[in-house]
Chain A
Amino acid sequence: MPYCWFHAFNRDSVDETIGVLRNGPTINPSPACTTRLNEVKLAIQPPCVYAYLGHPLPEFGDVVLSLPAQALRGTVSPFDTGGLVEHIAPVNSWPDDRRQEFLEQYSWQSDELPELLKRYPQNTPPQRRAYLDASRPLVAGPHLLWPERRGAVTTIWADMSNERRAWLWEGRSHHQLPVDGDLVYWSCSSPLYGEIRERADDAGAADIEWFEELLSKYVKGGVSALVRDMRSTQEAA
């Protein structure tokens, strides 16, 4: 699969940021955070860490890491699940049980992703490019691509009030998204890069090799630079 998963994040300290790049992001433990509250409404259990295929959410970020498509083990859906609660019409106006049913109808195990991608966005270079450019799909909703799921008929992809989160593949991994040496590339804002370089120079012998690998995978310019640079890689593959 040519695509990569992207996880954009920020942390309060450079050490926490380094921890995420090394071990992978874990869930935000606060039950009051928006993600946990949305999971309750959507009956997503246990709590998950989220990544997006081809490009991250949101449109701007402080730090981002990218992983190969095979690296995420969990569940996938062709929309941002958090968006179902607040942003994606008409689902955001539905009662919780109906939303949960919709989510269940359009969720698959991550190892099915190669087949799923053949239906959306499909495999030709122009279709891959359109997906990576966050272009609106040509059909009104996922029910038209997966009729066998007998899912609710919605216009989440055609509704002009909806943005790219409505048609972006989301992957969710229980509790943690392990990196495990799979990090493809990463980037961050320029001041944070300086802080990470300083930390790296203070690293002990046990950590040097990891920091060497990390610095060799850095893409300068920040989250958006990484997304832009990896667009052509993902498209051409």
Chain B
Amino acid sequence: MSWKIVGIEGTVPGNATVVWGAAALSDDTRLVNSYTQTTTSVTAIDQLQGEKHLHVFPTPIQISDDDANQELVVVMVQKGTPHEALFRPETGRLGGVVVTATRRNWRYYVFAGQQAFSVYANVAASAVLHDVLYKPETVIPANKAAVLMALTLVPEHVQLNALRAFLDGRPAAERLAKAAVRGVEAKQDFDLFLRALRDETSEYQLKYEDGAAAGGGFDIDVARETLGALEEAQRQFAPYFAHQFPFLTVPPPARLWGLKAASAEFQFVAAVKGKSVGERVARYLSLRFIEEALRGDRNQELASSRELSAAIQKLAQPAPATTLKQKRLAETEREDVHQQSVPHVEPVRTRPLRVLGFISGLRQDSRAEIAVGTPRRFFVSTLDNGAHGVPKGAEAIKGDGRFLRRPSLFTIVRESSPVMPDRFHLTEMQVLHPGDTREINSFPSSVLPGAFVTGLRIRVAFGADGVLVTALGPLGRIKGNLASANSWLNSFRELCAEFELKQNAESLTWIAPSKIEPPSSLLRVLIVLNSFRHPLLVTDLVAGINERFDTVVRSNNTQREVLLHPTYFQWTDGTERALGLTELGRRFVKAYIAAGGATDGR
């Protein structure tokens, strides 16, 4: 069988710079949609093209049978168009590019799935952000166009949307850009970044009194140590800054703008004349890190670095009995900074989680991409188990690749730190062979992403006939391809989800996610209804949600969740219908709470 990509879904305007979408695959008999796997006769291609549902390539792009099984994403970049270079993927650096081709003016890049495409899209977004923010002139139409192109790749990108609002300047553009950003935290990040873009005048002030500042001024050794502590704190933040804002160059040390006479007051600014918008934004955000660290705000992710802890403590109190007030960038009044002991935070590790999954890929033979039913696959080292040893059983990852996509048991440990994303360490692995029977003790939770249900004993048997069976139910016959692996893992995930909801929440043990996200719209409805013993009128429900989560939702948002998830809700009869939870809905929210989910707006 010989597969080729014959087109991309939708239309491709002649003047477009970058276009992306689902691939249309053909084996000369069938036409297959790479996202949905729906199939029709290849004879339909002319009609689909004529009706503008499909853009057909001048010449097809050949791909292998294995690649044809993946959820291919096609990206087209047109040569000679504005900003083209920013959207051209660096295929040598990016993973997951299955094939590339050139046809007339267009370059084609085919990605092996949504995750690979997302990496490319975010890299392109960062390239556009960096290009626009560090240009001599930022607020020009050409930059607005580049940002819009990037938004077609990542419509919900926080900083891209903030930049679009900034470049446009109109209040409507700001509202719409914020509407495109999803999630409460992301909208807060949008507000912050937009403030950083717009603020060209604010000062950040540190004012010391008493102690070493008694009588006005600072001895120069205290001043030197205080400014040194600020510099050290910013230096310690640099890796986190680079991770959060990869499109910003890490800023130089804070710009000291002024010292108030006869006092120990330091004034800093983000805007420095002649510098780019990018540098101003970087300085602003860097100063904001200091503000938040001194406030000890719960949202502030303090680094686990002892050096940072020490620097912040020194900044807060450079000498005994010395007090500090800070005037934050976005405020006009000073606030007290309380001397705080910021303990060093060691990374936290979970207990070993023994889970079922498969290895979907290898990077340079030392990092394995594993799929265990979490929303995203993740990489683990096959050389380091996190304790400077080699994972037990990792010698199976050698040679001919037969271990790929085979049912396997992985013992993993999740390591969490406030300053870095979660990491998983592989301590042991076993590729299952026909005839093997093993036990797992955990699976990813379906009610709270990032959590694991653990403390279990679930038998997994790989029969001699190639059928995989678990104590929760059968998973079917195993074939060696990716589609089969995805299929049985999806089936297992569904069985686990059913199990998680069937048990009483009190009888299960969860490991919560390292970072708890605010509850979704659905969960807000479930949480409020669960907190009452009786059904609620929609108006009362909406009021309850707005109060508990400090938000503003409308009744049609709430009703939409009910329409989308009817098995969780039931209406009472009568002229005034009230909304309550079904047994399934109550089980779901109880499990969510027991797993460690957030139940209010904090």
Contact = CB atoms under 8 A, between A and B. Distances in A.
A216 B38 contact: no
B508 interface: no
A190 interface: yes
Chain A contact residues (Cβ within 8 angstroms of B): what range?
35 or more
B10 A197 contact: no
Contact of A194 (B24, B114, B149, B173): B149
Contacts of A224: 9, 21-22, 33-36
Interface residues of B, number: 55
B11 A191 contact: yes
A218 B155 contact: yes
B179 interface: yes
Contact of B53 (A1, A61, A191, A228): A61
Contacts of B18: 190
A16 interface: no
A159 interface: no
A84 B573 CA distance: 42
B53 A8 contact: yes
Interface of B: 9-13, 16, 18-22, 24, 31, 33-41, 44, 48, 51-54, 71, 114, 148-149, 151-156, 168, 170, 172-173, 175-176, 179-180, 182, 494, 556, 560, 563-567
A213 to B, nearest CB: 8
A22 to B, nearest CB: 15
Contact of A193 (B152, B176, B563, B564): B152
Given A61-B9, A68-B563, A193-B155, A208 B35 contact: no
A216 B161 CA distance: 13
Interface of A: 1-2, 8, 10, 55, 58-62, 68, 70, 125, 133-134, 163-164, 181, 184, 188-194, 197-198, 200-201, 203, 205, 208, 211-213, 215-216, 218, 220-225, 227-228, 231, 233, 237
A1 B180 contact: no
8 contacts: A59-B33, A189-B19, A191-B13, A215-B155, A216-B179, A218-B155, A222-B21, A223-B10
B299 to A, nearest CB: 23
A208 B22 contact: no
Contacts of B173: 201
A203 B9 CA distance: 28
Contact of A220 (B155, B168, B176, B179): B155
Nearest first, the 7 closest Cβ-Cβ pairs linking A and B are A189-B10, A224-B35, A212-B179, A224-B22, A190-B152, A222-B21, A60-B9
A60 B48 contact: yes
Given A163-B41, A216-B179, A237 B565 contact: yes
Given A181-B556, A192-B11, A197 B40 contact: no
Contacts of B114: 221
B172 A201 contact: yes
Contact of A191 (B16, B31, B175, B567): B16
B152 A191 contact: yes
Contacts of B566: 1-2, 237
A208 B175 contact: yes
Most buried by B among A61, A205, A227: A61
B11 A189 contact: yes
Contacts of B12: 189, 191
A60 B33 contact: yes
Contacts of B13: 191
Contacts of B31: 59
A48 B24 CA distance: 30
B556 to A, nearest CB: 6
Contacts of A216: 179-180, 182
A221 B21 contact: yes
A35 to B, nearest CB: 11
Contact of A60 (B10, B37, B148, B182): B10
Which of A62, A125, A164, A192 neighbours the largest number of chain B CB atoms within 10 Å of its CB?
A: A62
A133 B156 CA distance: 28
A153 B182 CA distance: 51
B120 to A, nearest CB: 13
B558 to A, nearest CB: 13
A203 B175 CA distance: 11
Contacts of A215: 155, 176, 179-180
Given A62-B10, A220-B155, A228-B35, 14 more contacts: A2-B566, A55-B38, A60-B54, A189-B9, A191-B10, A192-B10, A192-B11, A201-B168, A201-B170, A211-B179, A216-B180, A220-B156, A224-B22, A225-B22
Contacts of A191: 10-13, 16, 19, 152
B488 to A, nearest CB: 14
B172 A190 contact: no
B52 A10 contact: yes
A184 B207 CA distance: 53
Contact of B52 (A62, A133, A201, A218): A62
